[in-house]
Amino acid sequence: MLSARSRQLFVLGFVACTAALAVAIYLEAETGLVPCSLSLVQRFFMGLMALSCLASVIHCPGRKGMLAYAGGNLLFSMLGGLAATRHVWMQEHADQPQIVCQPGFDYLLQALPLKDVLTTLAMGTPECARVNWTLLDMSLAEWSLFAFVGMLVLSLWTLLQSAR
């Protein structure tokens, strides 16, 4: 049976992921920010972590199940963190010629096979290099990376708790 402490960690993870997604959706709706492909990838992994945390609270698994949920969250936070790191890198190197111009995300979905769309999403599109919003001199991509690192630490802590 899932211990109360571990359950609280999953509840904390769910609340943190949901809050991060809510902020992203709020900024999109209220300020008119249009998410780029890397932002959508980050939202996808944040959503997967939120669902995994919620499922673990509802499921209330034993030790092996808790390891599986925490391991999944660890994987999702690492993949989301990689996307956020790529996004931050693109913003820092926006003037470099390494960034290849890509068509818009809507066009990619209509014109390319799924494999090529996923590759393009992972590499980012030119709109990912622009910084459209900052808080405390940090871009949204940097805040996202910060959130993924926090979720990574929480996932590792949960894994350590379940290993006892």
Kindly state whether residue 101 falls inside one of the protein's structural domains: no
| pLDDT of 134 | 64
Surface-to-core class of residue 100, CB atoms within 10 Å of its CB (0-12 exposed, 13-18 middle, 19+ buried): exposed
Range of the domain at 153: 4-90+131-163
Kindly state whether residue 44 falls inside one of the protein's structural domains: yes
DSSP string, 127-143: GGG----EETTEEHHHH
Between CA 82 and CA 70 the distance in angstroms is 18
Kindly state whether residue 119 falls inside one of the protein's structural domains: no
CATH number at residue 58: 1.20.120
| pLDDT of 119 | 75
pTM: 0.77
Kindly state whether residue 14 falls inside one of the protein's structural domains: yes
Q: How many domains does the chain have?
A: 1
Token pair recorded at residue 90: 């693109």
Could you read off the pLDDT of 3-23 as tens digits, one per residue?
Answer: 666 778 888 889 989 998 898
